[in-house]
Chain A
Amino acid sequence: MLRMQNLKKIYRTHLVETHALRDFSLEVGAGEFVAVTGPSGSGKTTFLNIAGLLEEHSEGLYAIDGVDVRGLSDDARSRLRNEKIGFVFQSFNLIPDLDLFDNVDVPLRYRGFDRAERRRRIEQALGRVGLGSRMKHYPSELSGGQQQRVAIARALAGEPKILLADEPTGNLDSVMARCVLELLEEINRQGTTIIMVTHDLELARRARRNVHIVDGQIVDLDASAPRVAARREAAAPAA
């Protein structure tokens, strides 16, 4: 699903070069649920941005769903983002001027679906996160947890192969955080690959696989290869 090999990301400003990712190799298979942890500034968001095609990497190889993204045009990257990737952000990032229906509609319009198809998907996605009855509400009328569920519905409506979440529970209290995580787990069970950055080790432990990043590198070498199904089954009861 996602393959990174000897990836480097260097931020150059006029004063310093920051090696945000160095010699970064990771493979994530279809259907995995990966939790990414690490200290602040270690490169978690950088990794997620590159994985989600929000930023370009400096060196190395990155392929998503078999497509090598090196040298793709900005438009091609946008299309790939739109079709294969769903985003969930720490601060929800709903559009305040639009009601829930129109918020979930945003990526679907960019996709070019017709009206009926969009409506079907919006109703289904909002139904799936338990907000089917509030389509005409505005984000400001919802709690944080509800907003994040709308954001998840928005990410899911396009039926992405992979869902990327950067601290999706970071702005939520622990009850709401658990709720959101359960939703993500449920989505993962239905087949969507999920990579989630989190500071919450308890939440991370619930994921089937943990990747720990320190100083732009994965520290647990064991974690850089996908686990075979048998080991995943074995690990699950322990979590």
Chain B
Amino acid sequence: MRKSPILAALLQHKVAAGLIAAQIALTLAIIANALYIVIDRTQLMARPSGVVEQELFVLGLTPEGSAEQRRAELLADLDAVRRVPGVVGAYLTNSMPLSGGGWSSSVVLGPDGAGGAESNTALYMVDETALGTLGLNLVAGRNFEPGEVQWHEAEKPLRPDVVIITQALAERMFGDEPAVGRMIGISGVRGEVGSRVIGVVERLVTPWTDWGRFGKSTLIPVRSDGSPRIAVRTRPDALQQTVKAVEEALWARNPQRVVDGLRTMPEMRAEQHRGDRALVFIMIAITICLLAVTALGIVGQASFWVTQRTRQIGVRRALGATRGQILRYFQAENAIIAGFGIVVGVTLAYVVNYWMAENFGADRLPWFYLPIGAAIVLLLGQVAVYAPARRAAAVPPAIATRSA
């Protein structure tokens, strides 16, 4: 069977066509991966934390003296903060979601937990006011009671009697079974299973943004007198004023004190995703540059061919080609080149992704990014070739007899 004449003619210009096809292939391979990273990171940045971010801030306290003195001072500070106008709630804690720093622990199941799973979790020290302060949604069980909140003895491991866990952790640990009432062990030693799940909250993310443990958090009714933080919720739209008012209230109690680590939740979120945002920006920039360079390459090559074939185009017109047929010739030619580029590019995209997965722990590229990438480069080619193709279609048929 005979080849299409457009293909046959192209094969007479293997190097020029091959270079453009290679450029298209490389572009496809890179933008498919870049696009995946952009979408993945954008989704990652858009994940809800489960707390009322616009109304929350945190600051560090550094109490001094004996354990008793420190505890008394912390409770007095907490009391003072809660009295500041604009403050809706406050509690002592070790960490905040998206803050980048906190405690993590393994979680094991109790002896009744055959068939369940182990997991990793973030630990948040809270009191009975934390659910309201953070704006968490309790979906099963109950909140802590004031009597359940204990001071953490510095040398001893954490052994809370009761815990509240997130739905994500509950599903990981217990699957579809109800979590409330089940025993788990935190701090990871099987056999030391002494914590009862008393409640489940819908969502509370970890201080860290990696996918694996992101939603799996545990609230423990514990206070630390080490160097705790105080989490504060303000009235809506009063975050900035209230931050100042709280600082002043604390200084008023003790003018010598150091108030450090003051950060609002919006700041923490921005900081936590700074790398993601930079990566998204870079990937978009690379994608745009590549598309532009490839488009210019196609425009250049097509323009050159139109000029080179001006006479041939005139002859085709003389032999009865309409302008539309000339236009479509160049469009079809570009589609054939892009087709070769796509075949190579799809293969290359997988190789690039495989290499990145092996070397940088990147995720495997979902297959549907390849047809999306292919569609983009095909469209790019058609857009880029349009102007040169129009110029070709405008070549007058008299060229056939006029240019000797």
Contact = CB atoms under 8 A, between A and B. Distances in A.
B315 interface: yes
Given A52-B318, A95-B9, A75 B401 contact: no
Contact of A87 (B312, B325, B400): B400
A164 to B, nearest CB: 9
B316 A54 contact: no
Contacts of A55: 396-398
B398 A98 contact: no
Interface size class of B (residues with CB under 8 A): 20 to 34
A83 B400 CA distance: 18
Contact of B8 (A83, A93, A102, A111): A102
Interface in B295-318: 311-312, 315-318
B325 A102 contact: no
Contacts of A110: 316, 319-322, 325
Interface residues of A, number: 35
A90 B311 CA distance: 13
Interface in A83-110: 83, 87, 89-91, 93, 95-99, 101-102, 105-107, 109-110
Nearest to A81: B320
A107 B319 contact: yes
A79 interface: yes
Given A97-B9, A97-B12, A101-B2, A89 B322 contact: no
A79 B322 contact: yes
A75 B324 contact: yes
B404 interface: yes
Q: Is the interface of B mostly helix, strand, loop or mixed?
A: helix
B156 interface: no
Contact of A45 (B12, B397, B402): B402
A48 interface: yes
Contacts of B8: 97-99, 102
Q: Which of A53, A89, A93 has the most CB of B within 10 A?
A: A93
A115 to B, nearest CB: 9
Given A48-B401, A75-B324, A98 B5 contact: yes
B13 interface: yes
Nearest to A107: B319
A54 B401 contact: yes
B5 A82 contact: no
A97 B13 contact: yes
B223 interface: no
Contacts of B317: 54, 78
Contacts of A154: 319
A54 B318 contact: yes
A101 B9 CA distance: 13
A158 B398 CA distance: 20
Interface string B156-190: 00000000000000000000000000000000000
A173 interface: no
Interface of A: 45, 48-49, 52-55, 74-75, 78-79, 81-83, 87, 89-91, 93, 95-99, 101-102, 105-107, 109-111, 154, 158, 166
6 contacts: A75-B323, A78-B321, A93-B311, A96-B12, A110-B325, A158-B320
Given A81-B318, A154-B319, 5 more contacts: A81-B319, A81-B320, A87-B319, A106-B316, A110-B325
